[in-house]
Amino acid sequence: MLYSDSNGSRENFAKDPAVVRLGDTYFLYYTAYEADGDRFVIGIATSDDMEGWKYCGFVPITQECEQKGIAAPAAYLENGKIHLFYQTYGNRRLDAICHAVSEDGLNFTKDGTNPIFRPTDDWCCGRAIDADVVAHGGKLFLYFATRDHGMKIQKQGVAYAPLGSDYSRDTWTQPIRGSILAPEFVWEGECIEAAATLTQDGKVYMFYGGSYNCTPQQIGCAVSEDGVFFKKLFTEPLIRCGREGEWNASESGHPYAFTDDDGRHYLFYQGSPDGGKTWYLSRCRLGFRNGLPYVDEFFN
């Protein structure tokens, strides 16, 4: 699989994938450009095999908090409805997480309390981007990237809401006011972002992008028993950027974990061959052995 979008104002641009299955259809949501301007919107594509994808449109900008753009979606299926968690864009410290719901995967009803979540600024700059959610222990955990007060170091935070709630603004709680994952290894640079979580054997596995875009960003992994406190599993990237001339020569980053109905795990991620001028999406199969994830198969 290799997918990009040229329906917007920028050719071959698709970033920040999120995938969910509704019935027999796979829905791919991603960051794209709108057709008539410079704002980010959330593109939509569908597939019946996760290999060939058909562009179906985008999630329109409709609310005041979205006016500078929306991006970086996460998709969660609950009771036959797709919940989309996504960020506002272009507001620096004020960017926050929004929520919308769809019954058909194409038409979304926005949450009237948007933005639904922004962290307190006593431990970070107050920003929340790159949403990801996972159900664990009766809660829906919301993972997000934020920065330190100097807007230099990107790190991960967490909040949760009761599973089955409406996920509006008043349902979210910060279990700790502090980072749950921050850069420490050389390859992670000054950034950990784009949490991508799945559950396996009662644990939450978090795949993440280490280092800022095209520096290069590569993918690591951490694990948690409770969804709050994480331990990194590797000191080196699990998925590295490609070689010169390959589609991901500048980056393999911003992952998204998807578990299909048959229990198979996949990791979708973005790549750029040219320092961020163009962006593509691909995927790999994930397996687990002795509690450690491994890449089973690439789909390039």
Q: DSSP of 74-140, one letter per residue?
A: EEEEETTEEEEEEEE-S-GGG--EEEEEESSSSS-EEPTT-S-B---TTSS-S--EEEEEEEETTEE
Q: Is the pLDDT of residue 300 over 50?
A: no
Q: Is the pLDDT of residue 233 over 90?
A: yes
Q: How far apart are CA 126 and CA 147, in angstroms?
A: 8
Mean pLDDT of 188-209: 98
pLDDT digits (tens, 9 = 90+) for 100-130: 999 999 999 999 999 999 999 999 999 999 9
DSSP lists the bridge partners of residue 193 as 209
* Residue 26 counted as domain residue: no
- pLDDT for the residue 299: 43
Contact status, residue 128 vs residue 119, Cβ threshold 8 Å: yes
Burial class (CB in 10 A: 0-12, 13-18, 19+), 19: buried
Q: Which residue has the higher pLDDT, 60 or 297?
A: 60
Q: How far apart are CA 280 and CA 132, in angstroms?
A: 20
Specify the number of domains making up the chain: 1
pLDDT bracket for residue 37 (50, 70, 90): confident
* Residue 50 counted as domain residue: no
Asked whether the whole model's pTM tops 0.75, one would answer yes
Give how far Cα 52 sits from Cα of 6, 18, 45, 263, Å. Answer: 16, 15, 10, 21
Contact status, residue 80 vs residue 102, Cβ threshold 8 Å: no
* Residue 105 counted as domain residue: yes
> How far is residue 297 CA from its own chain's centroid?
21
Q: How far apart are CA 53 and CA 29, in angstroms?
A: 11
Domain range for residue 255? 67-299
CATH number for position 96: 2.115.10.20
- pLDDT for the residue 116: 98
Taking alpha carbons only, the member of 167, 177, 174, 233 closest to residue 200 is 233
Q: How far apart are CA 216 and CA 240, in angstroms?
A: 9
Q: Is the pLDDT of residue 259 over 60?
A: yes
Give me the chain's average pLDDT, please: 97
* Residue 5 counted as domain residue: no
Burial class (CB in 10 A: 0-12, 13-18, 19+), 228: middle
Mean pLDDT of 166-182: 97
Q: Is the pLDDT of residue 297 over 80?
A: no
Q: Which residue has the higher pLDDT, 258 or 37?
A: 258
Mean pLDDT of 233-259: 98
pLDDT digits (tens, 9 = 90+) for 38-97: 999 999 999 999 999 999 999 999 999 999 999 999 999 999 999 999 999 999 999 999
* Residue 240 counted as domain residue: yes
* Residue 29 counted as domain residue: no
* Residue 48 counted as domain residue: no
Contact status, residue 198 vs residue 171, Cβ threshold 8 Å: no
* Residue 270 counted as domain residue: yes
Mean pLDDT of 1-26: 96
